[in-house]
Amino acid sequence: MLTSPKDTATRPTPRAVPAREWNGRGGGFLVKLALLAIVNAFGVAVVLAAWRVESYGILAASVAILVAVDWVYLSRRTVPLKYLLPGLIFLAVFQLFVLGYTGYVALTNYGTGHAVTKAQAVDAVLIQNERRVEDSASYPLVVLRDGAELGFAILDTGTVRIGTPDQPLYDDPGAVVDGEGRITSVTGWEVVPRAELLTDSALQQRVFDLRVPASANAEDGSIRTREGSTGAVYRSVLEWDPASDTMTDVDTGVVYTATDRGNFVAQDGSALAVGWRVNVGLENFVRAVTDTDLAKPLLRVTGWTFAFAIISVVSAFLVGLGLALVYNDERVRGRKIIRTLFILPYAFPAFLSALLWRGMLNPEYGIINDWFFGNAYISWLGDPFLAKLSILWVNLWLSYPYWMLVCIGALQSMPAERIEAAKIDGAGRWRMFRSITMPQVLVSTAPLLIASFAFNFNNFVIIYVLNNGGPRFADTSFPLGHTDILISAVYNISGVAGGVADYGLASALAVIIFIVVGGISAFAFRQTRKLEEIGS
């Protein structure tokens, strides 16, 4: 088709894009692709790991996050989400997931003796009850390695047989045995040197835990070793019957039946040591208020938690406000230097400060008794009342500098017109403080007071480092003490520091703490609106 010169003249000429502009666009796009490739590689690794351990919830969430990331950052119509998505992902992973998982654990019997799934519990019970077959021969044995996989090779009447936990023993005609009857090489495997096995403790543990089936029939037992040079046949004295959901002791004939409590229990009430996680509903929450061994000390811990949080906030705020009023006065000379000295406790890490005070309060060599009480033996951290008093004092020493800084800032930001107007009206100092200064300070500090209450309600560091919750209660079997607050009680009940763990009960208490602190904080924030009306 022919075009006229007029049409050609009126047609717009395409703009020539400078090479530098193209390079900038292309470089940025390549960087974005590279970052997305890294994110997708990490995400695929998480998905595969979740698939291997059959954690389908994490798998589904990981796939959803990957799809969202790729869609948002490869689309031109999702500009706001490009900035919001990272924060939303972090919120989901580090907040919502943690809260949801804690709630899930609170509904289970997860803890010591019930830390695995039922399939894992069955395997653990069978392994724990393995015994060496009485007429089993002792076979010369070497440890085999292929990358991270381990196996055994034994010499059975002149024949080398090799196997792994997933592959029963089979003959290896290509294996080499020296004149002293030692296996020196096998087909497709590396023979682990004896010297390496003796010096590598981690490798030793893996070898001692290794079980290689003697044959495809599980009743024939497994080859195990206790020193890495000889092996024997071991067989469990228990037989697992998945159809009837029972474990039978072949030696005594006792039958252990699986219960809905996550245990194998015999008719006489005896149970096998290993159980599994099951859902127990609200039992942990009910137990926290009905179990007399737990409810009474927990009630005392709860009362002390509220007292500790309220007294800590009020005392630190009042001391900080008092110092701020004094050292914000221009008539005080050297007030900047003095304020700097008062801030020093806030500059030191709370962990180190608590350790320092723990040493100073020691009844035998602490300087508190030595300098101020004539070297008298006063157990500041061993007596219930003195321990609480000491913790409140140390927490006050750590907290008042913060409130002094906050209150100085609030005082310096007060409108000078109101103060001048009050002076003209003849208001005295107390009247000015009560009607002008204090309301204005509270308008600025009320949200911080609420946050400080929530912090002290869960101030684990000061309790754990200074006194570890002691002295202990004498009327309970739970590891709780007179200065424990709820969060340190959760820590002790969870068994993280040792002892019997009860993650289900600890998670239930953590949920209760979250509800209490969240409810009080929400109510307090609503009340601060009244202060804002006063301040306006």
How far is residue 441's CA from residue 321's CA, in Å, rounded to a whole number?
9
> In sequence order, what are the residues at sequence separation of 6 or more whose Cβ sits closer than 8 angstroms to the Cβ of residue 76?
none
Contacts of 229 (CB under 8 A, 6+ apart): 140, 141, 142, 194
Predicted confidence at residue 12, as pLDDT, reads: 54
**H or E stretch including 255?**
strand 255-258
pLDDT of residue 15: 53
Domain boundaries, the chain: 22-106, 130-236, 288-535
Which residues, other chains included, contact 348 with Cβ-Cβ below 8 Å and sequence gap of 6+? none
pLDDT tens for residues 33-46? 888 999 999 989 99
Which element (helix H / strand E) includes 169?
strand 167-171
Q: Rounded CA gap, 120 and 458, in Å? A: 36
Q: Are the folds of 130-236 and 288-535 the same?
A: no
The pLDDT of residue 401: 93
Q: Write out residues in the chain with pLDDT < 70, as ranges.
A: 1-27, 529-536
Q: What are the start-end ranges of the E strands in 17-158?
A: 130-132, 139-146, 149-156
Q: What are phi and psi of 258, to 5 degrees?
A: -70, 135
Burial of 519 (0-12, 13-18, 19+ CB in 10 A): exposed
Contact by Cβ (8 Å): 241, 73: no
pLDDT of residue 22: 43
Q: Can you tell me the distance from the alpha carbon of 231 to that of 227, in angstroms, rounded to the nearest whole number?
A: 9
Contact present, 382 and 390 (Cβ < 8 Å): no
pLDDT for residue 163: 95
Beta bridge partners of 222: 213, 234
Which pLDDT score, from 0 to 100, does residue 21 have? Answer: 45
Residue with tokens 């393995």: 130
Which fold does the domain 288-535 belong to in CATH?
MetI-like fold (1.10.3720)
Pairwise CA distance, residues 54 & 261, whole Å: 23
Q: Which tokens in the block code for residue 131? A: 């015994």
3-state secondary structure of 164: strand
Supply the pLDDT for residue 321.
Answer: 93
- 130-236: in CATH 3.90.920: no
| CB distance 70 to 41 below 8 Å | no
* Cα 261–chain centre separation: 26
For 153-156, the CB contacts below 8 A with 24+ separation are 153/183, 153/186, 153/189, 153/191, 154/223, 154/231, 155/181, 155/183
Dihedral in degrees, nearest 10, Cα atoms 370, 372, 376, 382: -90
Q: What is the DSSP letter of 254?
A: -
Look up residue 26 and give its amino acid.
Answer: G
Long-range CB contacts (within 8 A, 24+) of 529-535: 531/439, 531/442, 531/443, 531/446, 532/443, 534/439, 534/443, 535/439, 535/440, 535/443
pLDDT of res. 17: 47
Query: How far apart, in whole angstroms, are the C-alpha atoms of residue 313 and residue 318?
Result: 9
Report d(CA 512, CA 318) in Å as an integer: 30
The span from the CA of 510 to the CA of 517, in Å, is 11
